[in-house]
């Protein structure tokens, strides 16, 4: 079976941002089929458009399907996984947030966009049944995602937790153009199958 990877960008992200092109190329060189879709209305991400968009792109699932998310892309993947009954290969969450302590400092428009992502529950019990391979990667100086988010990934998904130093929000703005740690974790997950 062909191993497929879906890389989901964050809020105001795009397929060519930061480390996505590098990861896509590295995986394709290893015979993975890689998709880095442009998510709809990236400046105004909504659960009701992002999750169905991902579901349509993925199509038929199997244990050779993997996910990599960045920021709100992680939430999109989580919310998609809670809707499926098939097992997948695994998921890697980079700067994934469930809570943002700095949300009060953002604009009212940003708060309105983020509010449903905070207030709509996530069914971690269902998500955990989809795979035994979850990794969550955080930076010790992320201005948006406090390290308190680690507890959710560790306790609810039994995810492997990795904390990087000085990577900010792992975005193009942080000049992160390669993220070897994600490649290493994904290759490990794929070998475990």
CB of 5 closer than 8 Å to CB of 67? yes
Q: How confident is the model at residue 13, as a pLDDT? A: 95
Q: Which domain holds residue 101?
A: 4-191
According to the model, what pLDDT value does residue 110 have?
A: 84
**Hey, what are 78's tokens?**
């989580």
CATH number at residue 158: 3.40.50.1820
Domain count, the chain: 1
Residue-level pLDDT at 192 = 60
Residue 94: closest CA among 112, 113, 73: 73
Max Cα-Cα span within the chain: 47
Q: Cβ(82)–Cβ(127) under 8 Å?
A: yes
- Supply φ then ψ for residue 176, to 5 degrees: -90, 105
Ranges of the chain whose pLDDT falls below 50: 104
């Amino acid at each position: 079976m062909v191993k497929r990877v879906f890389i989901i960008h964050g809020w105001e992200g795009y397929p060519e941002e930061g480390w996505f092109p590098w990861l896509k190329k590295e995986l394709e060189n290893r015979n993975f089929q890689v998709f880095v879709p442009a998510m709809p209305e990236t400046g105004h991400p909504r659960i009701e458009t992002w999750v169905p968009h991902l579901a349509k792109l993925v199509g038929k699932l199997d244990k050779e399907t993997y996910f990599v998310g960045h920021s709100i892309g992680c939430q999109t993947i989580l919310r998609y996984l809670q809707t499926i009954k098939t097992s997948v290969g695994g998921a890697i969450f980079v700067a994934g947030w469930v809570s943002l302590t700095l949300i009060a400092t953002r604009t009212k428009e940003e708060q309105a966009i983020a509010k449903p992502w905070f207030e709509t529950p996530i069914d971690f019990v269902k998500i955990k049944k989809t795979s035994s391979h979850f990794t969550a990667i955080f930076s010790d100086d992320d201005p948006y995602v406090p390290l308190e988010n680690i507890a959710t990934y560790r306790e609810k998904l039994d995810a492997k937790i990795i904390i990087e130093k000085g990577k900010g929000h792992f975005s193009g703005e942080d000049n992160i153009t390669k993220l070897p740690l994600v490649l290493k974790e994904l290759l490990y997950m794929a070998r475990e199958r």
